[in-house]
Amino acid sequence: MKISILLLVSLLVTKVALGADPAQGDALRAPDPAGDPAGAATGQSPPAADQSGRAITDEMALATDVWPLVGEARLKVLIWEVYDSALFTPSGHWQGDAPYRLSLHYLRNIPVAKLVEETEKAWREQGRNHPRLNEWLGLLGDLWPDITEGDNLVFGLNALGDSAFWFNGSPLGSIEDRDFGPLFGGIWLDPDTPRPELRAQLIGPASKLAKNSQP
């Protein structure tokens, strides 16, 4: 009799175990990073957030590849020709602010460390001071490639303050800080630019022979 009771209890326990709520079993399962788009298990940002910079870049490329030319200028330092620059806006005129696209076609090889150094030098000459300035310089060093003669680097800034870079026609990336774009573009376009003659040509009448530079 005792054996029969024990057997019956054993069968009931087994049945309950087999019919357990699957949701409870899932709760005990180790989190699957691939199935956790919110990143809740790891505390990381959603994968979509990692693509936000690329989305901004793609959106701006579609919006700016048909903008007309405002002006163009060649930077020459002593006897060395450095790059040809061109400015584009939706209206084909400089309104004093974004949106705009600035295209630089390089005429010589320049290592990325030199590009970053010249950016820092320009900000220093303009008296720019921002708590993230040094961080931005480091990010630019990681983002930009070394320049080879003939390369094209394009910088775009929209009316919201989002900015992005393109390199030889392909999206390069962005620095996701809306303080960055105006300060970077201001190296060429702010009234206190270190290159006032170049700025005057960029924001002046467009050349009829110039063609739009595709980002």
Residues 16 and 66 in one domain: no
**Section 153-182 average pLDDT:** 95
**How many C-beta atoms surround the C-beta of residue 47 within 10 A?**
13
Residues 155 and 187 in one domain: yes
Specify if 139 maps to a domain: yes
Residues 145 and 191 in one domain: yes
Name the phi and psi angles at 9, rounded to 5.
Answer: -65, -40
Specify if 11 maps to a domain: yes
Q: Please report the pLDDT score of residue 56 as a whole number.
A: 58
Residues 10 and 100 in one domain: no
Specify if 208 maps to a domain: no
- What's the pLDDT band for 66 if we cut at 50, 70, 90? confident
Alpha-carbon span 119 to 31, nearest angstrom? 44
- What's the pLDDT band for 204 if we cut at 50, 70, 90? confident
Alpha-carbon span 128 to 190, nearest angstrom? 12
Residues 100 and 177 in one domain: yes
Number of domains into which the chain is organized = 2
CA angle 67, 137, 153 (to 5 degrees): 30
Residues 114 and 31 in one domain: no
DSSP category for residue 143:
H
> If we measure between CA atoms, which residue out of 73, 69, 96, 94 comes closest to residue 85?
73
Residues 14 and 115 in one domain: no
Residues 96 and 6 in one domain: no
Alpha-carbon span 81 to 71, nearest angstrom? 18
Instruction: Please give the residue that has the higher pLDDT: either 47 or 91.
Output: 91
Please tell me the pTM assigned to this model: 0.69
Residues 15 and 105 in one domain: no
Domain containing residue 190: CATH number: 3.50.70.10
Q: Which residues span the domain enclosing 7? A: 2-35
Residues 18 and 105 in one domain: no
